[in-house]
Structure 1
Amino acid sequence: MRRRWKIILFYITAILILIIDQASKLWVRTYMDIGEVIPVGKLVYQFEHYENSGMAFSLFQGYARLFGVIALVFILLILYYRHKGEIQGRLMNVGAGFLVGGAAGNMVDRFLRGTVTDFLKFSEEGGILNFADVALNVGVLLFIAGAGLDWLRSRRVQRPHF
């Protein structure tokens, strides 16, 4: 039963991230012109509509579909390791859900549009992101935290008691 909840948690997380990401990008494409800036507040510095046909930091412009294939391979690898039982625990499953949802969100844009819609700017000097990018970062942190906790638990079990 516990394993079933971890599987459900993984898929619900991934699907929610994908839905939030795609809905927010649709809103930006519908209501903002490319290059338009909307000041927001403290956490998010501003919304700025940008279409990126490359990868992070606008590197390798024009290769969006190639990066879509890389995202698909990444998603398939996570699904494979989940199936093998290599991804254990709640934190690692939620982290993997964030990773899959984020990768899928940007993959959909790359395959269907040839660009990724970015709009979240967190500082004046920083790059422009989207919810999929944020989810990928959160996913990495959760995955590392889960792996670290699993490692600590395994060390505690292996210690001899005197």
Structure 2
Amino acid sequence: MKYRHIVLIVVLILIVDQALKFWIKTNMTIAEQFPVISDWFFIHFIENEGMAYGLKFGGEFGKIALTLFRLIAVVIGFFYMRKLVKEKYHNGLLVCGALILAGAAGNLIDSMFYGLIFSESTRYELAQFMPADGGYGTFLHGNVVDMLYFPLFDGTLPNWVPIWGGEHIIFFRPVFNIADAAISVGVITILLFQKRFLHKKTEAGGQPVSSTPAIDDTQKVM
């Protein structure tokens, strides 16, 4: 895999992620939803000020710190992916790295610019793109747009279930976006296939070589 393939994956995910977010912002009000597949997949519009899946991080200062951290991570990520490509690491690792990088960049765009280019979304009014009076926030203070909601189970658990018996639960409750999904898929896949992914090929034979340094024979004796 070449570096341009990594960039292409990132760009494609960003286009889909941002296109859906733009449509949501300009066509739905906060908390509005509609079903996509039966009663277990909805488009449900919310915004969050913090991390993936609606998590928050330390108020106003935390918001700025998180956005700056994302920016630094994305810049470093592109350089690191180039290094992995040159060292001929497994294509699976490169694809997963591109997914994580695209996800981080997608949410970074929201945090950096959405406060500048959109008016505020409310329960009663649609957001306007490039409003005459300016956006709802300043640089680095945009909210992340989430919309994918999968309540796979929404009901009351039987009384015989330990701890949660008789309680009403929703699984899966978090609302997320395509950028969040890209990060999750990339990280989980690397964890599941790390033994296969964390090696590179030799220039000559193309056979996998472990990225873990080999132990010298003299060290074995000692």
Report the CA distance shift for 1:53/1:33 in structure 2 as closer, same or farther (over 3 A): same
Secondary structure, aligned partner of 1:92: helix
Alignment deviations for residues 23-60 of structure 1 (CA, whole Å, 9 cap, x no partner): 01011111111110112215962111001112233323
Q: Extract unaligned runs of 5+ from structure 2.
A: 115-141, 152-169, 200-207, 215-222
Higher RCO (C-alpha under 8 Å, 6+ residues apart): 1
Report the counterpart of residue 76 of structure 1 in structure 2.
75
* TM-score (structure 1 length as normaliser): 0.80
Structure 1 residue 145: Cα displacement: 5.0
**Higher Rg of the two aligned structures:** 2
Alignment deviations for residues 115-152 of structure 1 (CA, whole Å, 9 cap, x no partner): 00001111244111000000111111343456421458
Report the counterpart of residue 54 of structure 1 in structure 2.
50
Report the counterpart of residue 133 of structure 1 in structure 2.
180
Amino acid at match of 1:23: A
1:90 and 1:43 map into 2 onto residues whose CA distance is 37
Structure 1 residue 79: Cα displacement: 2.2
How many pairs does the alignment contain? Answer: 152
Map 1:11-160 to 2 at 5 A: 11-41=7-37, 45-56=41-52, 57-60=54-57, 61-62=59-60, 63-85=62-84, 88-113=89-114, 114-123=142-151, 124-125=170-171, 126-144=173-191, 147-151=194-198, 153-154=208-209
For the Cα contact (< 8 Å) 2:89–2:198, is it kept in 1? no
For the Cα contact (< 8 Å) 2:44–2:148, is it kept in 1? yes
Structure number with higher helix proportion: 1
For the Cα contact (< 8 Å) 1:95–1:143, is it kept in 2? yes
Which runs of at least 4 in structure 1 moved beyond 4 Å after TM superposition?
Answer: none
Q: Extract unaligned runs of 5+ from structure 1.
A: none
Greater Cα offset, 108-117 or 75-84:
75-84
Structure number with higher strand proportion: 2
Q: Percent identity?
A: 30
Report the CA distance shift for 1:90/1:51 in structure 2 as closer, same or farther (over 3 A): same
For the Cα contact (< 8 Å) 1:81–1:87, is it kept in 2? no
Report the CA distance shift for 1:44/1:134 in structure 2 as closer, same or farther (over 3 A): farther
For the Cα contact (< 8 Å) 2:110–2:144, is it kept in 1? yes
